[in-house]
Amino acid sequence: MQIPQHTCFLGQRVLLVAPRPNQRQPSHARVAVQAVAAPPKLDTSTSERIFEEAKTLLPGGVNSPVRAFNSVGGQPIVFDHVKGAYVWDVDNNKFIDYVGTWGPAIAGHANDEVNKALSAQLEKGTSFGAPCELENDLAKLVIDRVPSVEMVRFVNSGTEACLSVLRLMRAYTGREKVLKFSGCYHGHGDSFLVSAGSGVATLGLPDSPGVLKSSSEATLTATYNDLDDVRKKFAEHKGEIAGVILEPVVGNSGYIEPQPGFLEGLREITREEDTLLCFDEVMTGFRLAKGGAQDHFGVTPDLTTMGKIIGGGLPVGAYGGRADIMKTVAPAGPMYQAGTLSGNPLAMTAGIVTLQILERQGTYEYLDKITGRLVNGIIDAAHKAGHACCGGHIGGMFGFFFTEGPVTCFEDAKKADPKKFARWHRGMLERGIYLAPSMYEAGFMSLAHTTDDIDETIAAAADVLRDL
Ligand SMILES: *Cc1c(COP(=O)(O)O)cnc(C)c1O
């Protein structure tokens, strides 16, 4: 079903606004609706009221751009509460959720065990600004699981982890340039807003204004899955590259897997060039496997950034790696990096309990099984309905594109049909399925999702895809 949309202007950006459910639809849309099984009416009037006010208070009505639904049209759903695999909005609509607060909710939203530990910690205090043993406990869990990490520093977000690791790579090597890949997202630090994925790709923004020319000049960009391109960049900037940073499985220009040999090739080239290799596992860490993508693929980088799951729903990021490199960080070494709330006991507690839950027998097998069932179910339904569609999953991370494929880099991802994605997204929302509001974002499964949830989602998908 084509969602009728009208445009209005807010500053210079065009917002696509879906009509209210009770609004009269144009006659061509009515005809289309009659031809298909009409989805249940979705009343979002309270969401709309709150979001209208938010737009007068917060830039674009949000505190992080992709939440605004700009690329799929319509207004965002305003959440009221979450539990397990589900979210409820302020109009009391219930959705099966595949965003999981963009990854952290892998143990299920508002997990009872995490909540219980948090309540107990609240009584003891939320921030000390002094050492506490919980920092050791989480550090030990991370070092035990993630192959590259011998020492770790906790920060408050993935962005902060990536900014800090870049400074570390420069400090350790004495070189200034960094090589990233087009479509990969490493947070909103100046140096990384060059060919960035996530919201930057979703909004189709050029590289951001406000970034110093000198920062973007020090950032080199190569094509994902293209080792020849990487070798070319190293030849052009011989002895100048401090490090290579990448998402070992891309989730920020849609879901893109590394081709066989790509990660191994990067490991080999960075060794030859005496350059550091950093896996940005903010998304993949503790999600693809116990030790992240490096554990799954058996390729060990020098440094790793983490976030999302490591905070179990509270703001935490981390960077870690070889001890000799990490000892460059103050106060062990000269590279300065600090944080008032870093390592606070509340966030450490949520991270510890979440990693302990993930440690249990069969968790990753279960995530892999139900995620595979979902993504294969959706792709089959798409093919049956005559749509080009390709995708995949590892552990609890998945994605698919409305294009023939294969998708091996950002350029390929851009061939997918954004209008079809917008209609798909709206159709699923109307059937009670909450998906990331952008075709450039991966999907996330949690341990709380049941086979029934998956089958309900596939049935909704089949319904939507038939009429897309
Ligand atoms: C989300 C993400 C970041 C940024 O983390 P924030 O906590 O949003 O600052 C960095 N890198 C990757 C790969 C991410 O997915």
Tokens representing residue 416 in the block: 């997918």
Q: Which atom of ligand 1 is nearest to the CA of 162?
A: 10
Q: What is the mean pLDDT of residues 254-266?
A: 98
- What are the two backbone dihedrals, phi and then psi, of residue 236, each rounded to the nearest 5 degrees? -70, -25
C-alpha to C-alpha distance for 21 and 38, rounded to whole angstroms: 12
**Catalytic hit among 280, 302, 368, 463:** 280
Q: Which atom of ligand 1 is nearest to the CA of 252?
A: 15
Separation in Å, CA 325 to CA 172, 186, 213, 330, 337: 7, 20, 28, 12, 14
**Catalytic hit among 86, 98, 172, 185:** 185
Give residue 138 CA to ligand 1 midpoint distance, Å: 20
Q: Which atom of ligand 1 is nearest to the CA of 187?
A: 4
**Residue showing tokens 């219980």:** 116
Question: What pLDDT, on the 0 to 100 scale, is given for residue 35?
Answer: 44
**Catalytic hit among 177, 180, 308, 420:** 308
Give residue 68 CA to ligand 1 midpoint distance, Å: 17
pLDDT band at 209 (very low <50, low <70, confident <90, very high): confident
Nearest CA to ligand 1 atom 11: 186
Question: What pLDDT, on the 0 to 100 scale, is given for residue 205?
Answer: 65
C-alpha to C-alpha distance for 65 and 120, rounded to whole angstroms: 34
pLDDT band at 214 (very low <50, low <70, confident <90, very high): confident
What does the pLDDT look like over 143-182, one tens digit per residue?
999 999 999 999 999 999 999 999 999 999 999 999 999 9
Give residue 283 CA to ligand 1 midpoint distance, Å: 7
303, 168 Cβ separation under 8 angstroms: yes
**Pocket test residue of 188, 202, 252 for ligand 1, highest count of atoms within 8 A of CB:** 252
Q: Which atom of ligand 1 is nearest to the CA of 102?
A: 1
Name 305's bridge partners. 280, 319
What does the pLDDT look like over 92-115, one tens digit per residue?
999 999 999 999 999 999 999 999
Question: What pLDDT, on the 0 to 100 scale, is given for residue 39?
Answer: 66
Nearest CA to ligand 1 atom 6: 158
Average pLDDT, the chain: 91
Q: Which domains are assigned to the chain?
A: 77-110+361-468 (3.90.1150.10), 112-358 (3.40.640.10)
Give residue 390 CA to ligand 1 midpoint distance, Å: 25
Task: Extract the runs of DSSP E, i.e. beta strands, from 381-454.
Answer: 390-394, 397-401, 433-434, 443-444
**DSSP string of 249-317?**
SB-SSS-BPPPTTHHHHHHHHHHHTT-EEEEE-TTTTTTSSTTHHHHHHT---SEEEE-GGGGTTSS-E
Catalytic residue status for 185: yes
Considering only CA atoms, which of 404, 435, 392 is closest in space to residue 71? 435
Separation in Å, CA 248 to CA 181, 258, 394, 451: 11, 7, 12, 28
Looking at the predicted structure, is the pLDDT value of residue 24 above 90? no
Question: What pLDDT, on the 0 to 100 scale, is given for residue 213?
Answer: 85
Catalytic residue status for 94: no
Catalytic residue status for 280: yes
Q: Which atom of ligand 1 is nearest to the CA of 184?
A: 13
Looking at the predicted structure, is the pLDDT value of residue 40 above 70? no
**Pocket test residue of 162, 166, 278, 341 for ligand 1, highest count of atoms within 8 A of CB:** 162
pLDDT band at 23 (very low <50, low <70, confident <90, very high): very low
**Pocket test residue of 185, 191, 397 for ligand 1, highest count of atoms within 8 A of CB:** 185
What does the pLDDT look like over 268-322, one tens digit per residue?
999 999 999 999 999 999 999 999 999 999 999 999 999 999 999 999 999 999 9
What does the pLDDT look like over 50-63, one tens digit per residue?
999 999 999 999 99
Give residue 85 CA to ligand 1 midpoint distance, Å: 22
pLDDT band at 15 (very low <50, low <70, confident <90, very high): very low
Looking at the predicted structure, is the pLDDT value of residue 13 above 60? no
Give residue 238 CA to ligand 1 midpoint distance, Å: 29
Residue 176 DSSP code: -
**Pocket test residue of 283, 310, 341 for ligand 1, highest count of atoms within 8 A of CB:** 283
Q: Which atom of ligand 1 is nearest to the CA of 281?
A: 13
User: Which helix (H) or strand (E) element contains residue 339?
Assistant: none
Q: Which atom of ligand 1 is nearest to the CA of 251?
A: 15
Q: How many CB atoms lie within 10 A of CB 7?
A: 9
Considering only CA atoms, which of 262, 364, 326, 296 is closest in space to residue 147? 296
CB-based pocket (< 6 A), ligand 1? 157-159, 162, 185-187, 247, 251-252, 280, 282-283, 307, 317
End-to-end Cα separation, the chain, in angstroms: 6
Q: Is 224 left (phi over 0), alpha (psi -120 to 50) or beta?
A: beta
| Cα 370–Cα 375–Cα 379 angle in degrees, nearest 5 | 150
Looking at the predicted structure, is the pLDDT value of residue 26 above 60? no
Q: Hey, what amino acid is at 7?
A: T
Q: Are strands 94-97 and 86-89 parallel, antiparallel or unpaired?
A: antiparallel
Give residue 430 CA to ligand 1 midpoint distance, Å: 29
